Amino acid sequence: MTAGTAAHRGFDLRRLPMRHLLLAASIPLIGLVIVGTLLIGRLPVVSPTAIGNVAPDFALADLDGNPIQLSELRGQPVIVNFWASWCGPCVEEFPLLREAAERHAASGLVVVGILYQDRSSAARGFMERHGGTWATAQDPDGRVAGAYGIFAPPETFFIGRDGTIVAKQIGQFSATSLDEKVAAIMDEE
């Protein structure tokens, strides 16, 4: 055998005992199982804002500095709408939200807007121009948005009189979708 032939032969796996091959094949699989278990163990089993859960409480100040605490609204149906004046879908759904708030005000519906990464002056001007009459709170440190798992506005939570989340809308809602969700928290099903 020449030197060139020996170099091309390389390592022959067929000559290894079967137990070595099985051990070598199982090590990466064991590693994947360990990593997967660690990652799954870190994930919450149920989101705190899952339908049927009590809505995370918050205490914030509205644009005029007045306190808003969600737990104090218990007994009333509540819409919590995360929005921003720069958000196109928020602008489009705003008239629908205003109409629902006006239509159900006598039945106790409360709408709470929570600014998402927006300036209070921009939000105040927007509310005035578009006839928004409900309290809008500032979330300066993003703590409430974090508790609700907000990625981007608009996101809206429909909270029943007992404080549980009855429905939620990720993204812009339609008139039909809004009416269905409001009916669910107004006991009009």
CATH number of the structural domain spanning residue 72: 3.40.30.10
Query: Tell me, what's the pLDDT at 117?
Result: 93
Let me know whether 81 and 139 are in one domain.
yes
Same domain, 96 and 133: yes
Per-residue confidence (pLDDT) for residue 9, from 0 to 100: 62
Q: Domain span at residue 172?
A: 59-185
Are 164 and 106 found together in one domain?
yes
Say how many domains are in the chain.
2
- 33 in the same domain as 63: no
What's the confidence (pLDDT) of residue 45?
Answer: 56
> Of 126, 170, 173, whose CA–CA distance to 152 is shortest?
170
63 and 21 co-located in one domain: no
Full-model pTM: 0.75
φ/ψ (deg, to 5) at 115: -65, 135
| pLDDT given at position 19 | 78
pLDDT at position 43 is 58
* 48 part of a folded domain: no
Say what the pLDDT of residue 100 is: 95
Pair (90, 13) in one structural domain = no
pLDDT in tens, 93-125: 999 999 999 999 999 999 999 999 999 999 999
Phi, psi of 80 (to 5 degrees): -110, 115
Same domain, 66 and 37: no
- Taking a C-beta distance cutoff of 8 angstroms, is the pair 153, 116 a contact? yes
How much is the pLDDT for 187? 78
Name residues of the chain where pLDDT drops below 50. Answer: 5-6, 188-189
- Evaluate whether residue 122 is within a structural domain: yes
Amino acid 6: pLDDT: 47
